[in-house]
Amino acid sequence: MIQKELFTAIETHYNSQLPFVAYRKPNNSFVKAILQKDHTVRTVNDFTESGFVFSPFDSKNDAILFPLEQSISINCDCVFSSEISNNTNLKSNSETSQNTYEQHLELVQKGIRAIRNGTFEKVVLSRVEGLPISEENPIQLFQSLLSVYPTAFVYLWYHPDIGLWLGATPETLLNIEGLRFKTMSLAGTKKHNDTSETAWGTKEINEQQIVTDYIVNNLQGVLNNINVTGPNTVKAGQLFHLQSKISGILKSGILKSVIETLHPTPAICGLPKAEAKNFILNNEKYNREFYTGFLGELNIKTSKSRNTNRRNVENNAYSSIKTTSEFFVNLRCMQIKNKHALIYVGGGITKDSDPQLEWEETVNKTQTMMRVLLN
């Protein structure tokens, strides 16, 4: 399939108000689309299904599934010119009211007080910023995201009964190929500054270490041969984060228990998990819905040839079927609703947080989506 046909197929599907997802993995040129053939809302039962998952932050609510057998799957090796200018000076807070600012400051102060009282060690607090948009052309926005963020997982997800979401996330929740398991610990944020080397403060180093320790400690039960590398500095849009890579071999192929162990991690919720989640649900004055949830391919079977150069290979003798799942955390995302872009942003709060700096961090994070909206 050629690039133009792929995007026309997506557009036709969208215009018919049928559910679909279109996405591209980090550092990959293949854009894939899964076009569900009917309007039915299907949910994940036990993660043994096969298809594309879109899960909310609060796992008490259903994760939506586009099953492969009820969908048409298409893909294309795509090329994008980065026609969007490299504008890093967008005024993301031009639409932000004083009220939003004060509310977020109060929320962060309340979080810091709870940490100092010993309720929890870290909590990730967030907000949503609404921006009126003149035109709703999600496919064009998706194409802009694809060209500007080649190292992110970029997606456009739509269900007429649920909503329309777009994002360019830097964070992997998990990658499972057979029994090989990979994840990452991503936290700590700095604005990209061309003139200076990124020096990390104690606050950022600690908040990222909390995430790494949590993941490693909790995966002991389900993984053998755990290996951790990093933390290293990684760039996501105009921001820098600290990232450690964690890998191992799964003791069993039961994905559901791995997801329950990992999600939500302290990168997007806090530590201890239950107390931080409780605080978020009771104190953030809006519903995160799918922001800080996860999305991606579930139990996709691929045939891997071990030696593609060999001729006369007996059927299947040198190829094996692998089952892979690859989920990303839904960050740097927005929902398009009633001619508004709702941009979701948050940051990790620890005992060392400065509320004003935490506000600025959320403003900087809005720019990932702003950049494609204001062009």
Ligand X SMILES: C=C(O[C@@H]1C=C(C(=O)O)C=C[C@H]1O)C(=O)O
- Enumerate binding residues for ligand X (CB under 6 A): 124, 126, 171, 186-189, 241, 267-268, 331-332, 345-348, 365
Q: Angle between the 98-116 and 273-283 helix axes, to the nearest 10 degrees?
A: 150
Between CA 156 and CA 296 the distance in angstroms is 12
Closest distance between ligand X and the C-beta of residue 87, in Å? 20
Nearest to 241 by CA among 175, 172, 166, 292: 172
Closest distance between ligand X and the C-beta of residue 154, in Å? 15
Q: Which is nearer to ligand X, 231 or 348 (CB)?
A: 348
Q: Which is nearer to ligand X, 19 or 237 (CB)?
A: 237
Closest distance between ligand X and the C-beta of residue 122, in Å? 9
Give residue number: closest CB to ligand X.
348
Q: Which is nearer to ligand X, 19 or 346 (CB)?
A: 346
Closest distance between ligand X and the C-beta of residue 312, in Å? 50
Strand-pairing partners, residue 326, are 175, 297
Q: Which is nearer to ligand X, 258 or 369 (CB)?
A: 369
Q: Which is nearer to ligand X, 192 or 256 (CB)?
A: 192
Distances (CA, A) of 308 to 22, 77, 324, 365: 29, 20, 20, 44
Q: Which residues of 110-149 are buried (b: 16+ CB within 10 A; e: fewer)?
A: bbbebbeeebbbbbbbbbbbbbeeeeeebbebbbbbbbbb
Nearest to 51 by CA among 59, 60, 37: 37
Closest distance between ligand X and the C-beta of residue 368, in Å? 8
Closest distance between ligand X and the C-beta of residue 303, in Å? 34
Nearest to 57 by CA among 218, 287, 336: 287
Nearest to 168 by CA among 187, 147, 154, 151: 154
Nearest to 13 by CA among 36, 32, 31: 36
Nearest to 57 by CA among 322, 281, 371: 281
Closest distance between ligand X and the C-beta of residue 37, in Å? 34
Closest distance between ligand X and the C-beta of residue 42, in Å? 28
Q: Which is nearer to ligand X, 10 or 124 (CB)?
A: 124
Q: Which is nearer to ligand X, 36 or 368 (CB)?
A: 368
Residue 185 contacts residue 211 (beta carbons within 8 Å): yes
Between CA 175 and CA 329 the distance in angstroms is 12
Q: Which is nearer to ligand X, 126 or 367 (CB)?
A: 126
